[in-house]
Chain A
Amino acid sequence: MSKNSNLKDDVVIDMPSSVTGKNHSYMKFIVSSSGLLKQLQAISGVLNSNNPLPILDNFLFVIEKGSLTISASDLETTMTSKLTVEAKSNGKIAVPAKILLETLKTFPEQPLTFSIDEKTFGIEISSDYGKYKLTGFDGEEFPKLPVMEGTRSIELSPDVMLHAINKTLFATGNDELRPVMSGVFCQLEKDSLTFVATDAHKLVRYKRTDAKSKNEGTFILPKKPLTLLKNILTGTEQSLMINYNENNAFFEFGNISLICRLIDGRYPNYEAVIPAENPNKLTIDRSALLNSVRRVSIFSNKTTHQVRLKINGSELHISAEDLDFANEANERLSCEYSGEDMEIGFNARFLAEMLSNLDSDQVNIEMSMPNRAGILTQADGKNSEEDILMLVMPVMLNN
């Protein structure tokens, strides 16, 4: 610590002697602290808190020709980021992620020098304030990226992908017995792209006709990489490249890439369960309905969140009750309605999620029977290239 002032000289003097002395190689690079932190944070979402393999608690640093490639992986998903550094030699090392992130967060912007002994995996970081030593692991132990063969590719605007993720992700399921439903089904066609998510109680179908694919194909993306993509795609305009084959999908975007394993299995035939004949049509102000549903559901049962919708002429009556606490709420809203008077029950959380994920001012709700699906669509779509359908299954009411 006392040698703060002549820190750089120290390193420079050290290096050549050890490299040439024995077959003992050193790796050294200088990088901006905030630049490194930014890249690490972009990919650190992959890290799990409890990993089956200890090596996965590390970032993999690979230096090649003055460029640093950092990877984080949980075996299913691997994210990689690239940045340029000042470096003289090539090499790789696994750096403990938690300690590195915590340290970097405390630094104001400044150059950091990393010197790594590739034999002992000792890592020394030098900052303006002092030196920090920690032990890494052999970079060769880090899981290798799958080799992708027979890939097909598609180029997308990040905006389309971001919208597709935002509109569908909330509708995915959590049932371990039905893994296909825990992901988003992507259907690439010559004239459109369709994204579908369902947990068997609700379903979202998001279709874009302004994005097309030369090759037709379908795959199911798991939830975690989609969440990660959502975070890094927000607020950018660089285009997104997707390569995919039977088992994996590879997303490339700026200096960041993400490769993930696809969910294996057959997606349920969702088109077959979307009812075509829905004679009862209701049109209503979206935010007014959303606010009512949220308010009324406070008085519903805390487990089932059950609310009752009663439509008489042009009046929608929303009510909920919790018998255990003698809670009750009733609201009335005016709406446009064509069809027979009806009464139908829904889980308020599902309704609220769907309404808040639609963008239009007015929303259409189409129904047929109290024990059949209700279908929500945007009444005044701002984007005519976008077709979004949300379906929610009712709860059986006891009359």
Chain B
Amino acid sequence: MPLLSDSHRTIVHMDLDSFFVSVSRLINPLLNGKPVLVGGGERGVVAACSYEARAFGIHSAMPMKVARRLCPEAIVIRGDYDEYSKRSDEVMQIIREDAPVYERSSIDEFYIDITGMDRFFGCYKWATELRHTIRRETGLPISFGMSQNKTVSKIATDEAKPDNQMKIDFGAEKNFLAPLSVRKIPMIGEKTYHLLRNMGIEKVFTLQQMPPELLQNVLGENGIVIWKKANGIDHSPVEPYSERKSISSEETFNQDTIDVVMLKSLMVRMTEKLAFQLRNDDKLTSCVTVKIRYSNFDTHTMQSRIPYTSSDHTLITRVKELFDKLYSRRMLIRLIGVKFSHLVGGGQQINLFEDSEQLINLYQAMDKMRRVYGAHAIERAVGGTHSLRSFNPFNGIATAQAGTLPKDRSACEYLLVLSPPPAIKKEVWDIKKQFHRKHNHIRVAQSAPHIMLANFWLNKQSEEAVISGMEEVAKHQSPVEVRLKNFSHFQTHTIYIDVENPYAIISLVKSLKEKLGLHGSQSFFPMKPHMTIASGLREEQFKKAIVDFQQHEFRASFIADNMLLMKKETGDAGYRIIKEFDFCSSKDMEPAAKYEWNYT
């Protein structure tokens, strides 16, 4: 950097006006012209506020509670820091194209050293044009100050705001600063300000007149720096900014969704793809971030630090954990995203106890296939068939894509049931067989006696997620007593055995429905528990048959301590059992919990 005695530097300070608010307004124009506060939570502070809000005496870093008292009608929004940094990057791109040396000192502030540019263009003209370009291309209001050093330019920007510019000529710095409040000097915060005010120093002018030794006595080493700044002296250079790298992936849905199973499987796919990217670039991550945007544009992110890794299973587990913690509101989701940051170059350190050789070989084989046949050549089945749009993994920007589950030809039919013990099963079978002989109705014999809990169609790839959902439900379900009593019928098409105590089963069905989050069009959760004898009857068949059953009495009861998942693939004649979910026995559950309480 040239620092010649006979020449001076030209430094521009650019600052995006109430940046967080401006970005939020771009996304949601309804916020225009209204007092807006950006900041989080009950106990949070105001991270940014619009000029309309400043009129109420609100300033950034003020506790949110105080701000709300000052201006109860202000609209409070949670910050979407990913969006902010994306917009800030856009501004930086524009600056990077034109500026010789620039520094990003914060998310919304830039210093540009344009010393010597006046030989070709007027510096002020150049900066003005840059400001207009940024305004035009990003739609964000921006101000700048120009002078011979960083401090004066920053103060000039502050004076120029909002949405304006200011130039301090060489030699005019002292006069420009003199009438300002000492508070305007960047180093002077709340504490120093009060100290100076107590000494009777209010304007920068007074500081300028004081001997620097006196300030040093009061403020220590900083005193000298403050004195220099007050006199418009600042030799600090513009330090080129280097970015900390991260890779991320985001999906915006055409239709907002609460399909947790789909969301999770989508995140598995994103994670898998990013993890491959990490390994391919010889990188490791130590920070995982998950992002959710709800349908009302509220955006929440959560991150977690982990030991350096690039292995799928560690990352997938962490991403799912974060999602479960983050997704607290039962509200439609518009966007989800996964980000890995704090990247360093290197390979995965293999763990002596946790990484089996098979797993490492599997990863290496999978990666090899991906390198040869493309990133999608091989994937986890749970990732489903949602096609991830192609995106740039180093900024995650991409186009929107539908996130709903496609109806697939490879979908199978599933049936989740409570199965009676063999004795009752045989008894009901006998009734069914008898019915079959007497009325020659074929559908009677098609399935074994059961009480249906759920019937749905599913893509094979999503099976794993649904099964884990069922496991979760079964874990918290105590065995159900089922008392069967007499026969009944649905209109004239189905004859069944009634359940005398349906409520336990209904609540089980409800929790399954909630947990599995299956699509309404592709699933059925019966709210009237029953054990079918015959279905699909024609009216005349029904009339003949029902007479027999109305005269009959039937009573049986059993404890159902598990549920069975059965599956029928296209072309299969019947169901086969693929999984048994044991309910937790109440003995295991209650006393353990009690013991814990007593213990503490």
Seen from chain A, the residues whose Cβ lies within 8 Å of a Cβ on chain B are 198, 200-203, 268, 273, 301, 303-304, 306, 321-324, 345, 347, 371-373, 391, 393-398
Contacts and interface: CB of A to CB of B under 8 A. Distances in A.
Contacts of B350: 201, 371, 393-396
21 contacts: A198-B352, A200-B352, A200-B354, A201-B350, A201-B351, A268-B353, A303-B308, A303-B346, A304-B308, A304-B349, A306-B346, A306-B347, A321-B345, A323-B282, A371-B361, A393-B349, A395-B348, A395-B349, A395-B350, A396-B279, A396-B348
B364 interface: yes
A304 B345 contact: yes
Contacts of B507: none
Interface residues of B, number: 20
With a 10 A CB-CB cut-off, give which of A200, A203, A347, A372 has the most chain B CB atoms: A200
Contact of A397 (B308, B347, B361): B347
B596 interface: no
B357 interface: yes
Given A304-B344, A395-B347, A398-B347, A371 B352 contact: no
Interface string B440-483: 00000000000000000000000000000000000000000000
A270 to B, nearest CB: 8
Nearest to A272: B353
A200 B347 contact: no
B226 interface: no
In the A-B complex, the 10 residue pairs with the smallest Cβ-Cβ separation, listed nearest first, are A304-B346, A395-B347, A396-B347, A303-B344, A306-B346, A393-B350, A396-B348, A371-B360, A398-B282, A200-B351
B351 A301 contact: no
Interface in B95-140: none
Contacts of A397: 347
A398 B280 CA distance: 7
Nearest to B349: A395
A393 B352 contact: yes
B284 A304 contact: yes
Contact of B345 (A273, A301, A391): A301
Contacts of B357: 371-372
B308 A393 contact: no
Interface string B332-368: 0000000000001111111111100100110010000
Given A371-B360, A396-B364, A391 B352 contact: yes
B535 to A, nearest CB: 54
Given A371-B360, A371-B364, 17 more contacts: A200-B351, A200-B354, A202-B352, A268-B353, A304-B308, A304-B346, A306-B346, A306-B347, A323-B282, A323-B345, A371-B361, A372-B357, A373-B352, A391-B352, A395-B348, A395-B350, A396-B364
Nearest to B342: A303
A268 B353 CA distance: 8
A86 B353 CA distance: 57
Nearest to B281: A398
A140 B513 CA distance: 62
A147 to B, nearest CB: 24
Given A303-B308, A304-B284, A396-B364, A201 B347 contact: no
A373 B364 CA distance: 17
A395 B346 contact: yes
Contacts of A372: 357
Contacts of A268: 353
Given A371-B364, A396-B360, A200 B279 contact: no
B23 to A, nearest CB: 30
Contacts of B280: 398
A349 to B, nearest CB: 11
A320 to B, nearest CB: 10
Contact of B349 (A321, A323, A347, A398): A347
Nearest to B346: A304
Nearest to A371: B360
A150 B347 CA distance: 49
Contacts of A373: 352
B366 to A, nearest CB: 13
Nearest to B348: A396
From B308, B347, B348, B354, residue with most partner A Cβ within 10 Å: B347
Contacts of B361: 371
Contact of B352 (A273, A304, A306): A273
A351 to B, nearest CB: 13
Contacts of A391: 352
Contacts of B279: 396, 398
A321 to B, nearest CB: 8
Contacts of A393: 349-352
- Interface core residue of B279, B284, B348 (most chain A CB under 10 Å): B348
A318 B124 CA distance: 54
Contacts of B344: 301, 303-304
B101 to A, nearest CB: 20
Interface in B269-289: 279-280, 282, 284
A181 B347 CA distance: 23
Contacts of A396: 279, 347-348, 350, 360, 364
B345 A322 contact: yes
Nearest to A369: B357
B494 to A, nearest CB: 54
A304 to B, nearest CB: 3
A49 to B, nearest CB: 25
Interface in B320-336: none
A148 B75 CA distance: 66
Nearest to B282: A398
Contacts of A201: 349-352
B241 to A, nearest CB: 15
Most chain A CB within 10 A, of B349, B354, B357, is at B349
A322 B345 CA distance: 7
A306 B346 CA distance: 6
Nearest to B363: A396
Contacts of B282: 323, 398
A301 B283 CA distance: 11
A345 B353 contact: no
A321 B347 CA distance: 12
Nearest to A397: B347
B308 A345 contact: no
A142 B279 CA distance: 55
